[in-house]
Amino acid sequence: MAMATDASTASPSLTGASRVKSSEIIQLLSTIGVEANTATVMVYLHTQGPSKSSDLQKICKLRQPDVSVAINHLNRFKPH
């Protein structure tokens, strides 16, 4: 489960005692069955907002096919 420094910092949307490192969130998501790459991309998008696939590849240290698979997994949960 590789990720860059940006993806391992505390989520800016959380404050005080509820601050949790992104790496901990990724680990928790993995324990409930979310694939590691999908969890990494999800947390990065949550903390940084919309991003290009090429940026996700660099920051999350994933190959293009892995980013595409992760985005496809996330799109399954997108409300229609």
Domains of the chain, by residue range, sit at 20-75
pLDDT of residue 19: 67
Give the residue ranges of DSSP H helices in 1-80. Answer: 22-31, 36-48, 53-60, 64-75
pLDDT of residue 70: 98
Q: Report helix, strand or coil for 33.
A: coil
> pLDDT 10s digit of each residue in the chain, 80 long?
444 434 444 444 444 445 679 999 999 999 999 999 999 999 999 999 999 999 999 999 999 999 999 999 999 988 87
| Distance, CA of 59 to CA of 78 (rounded, Å) | 23
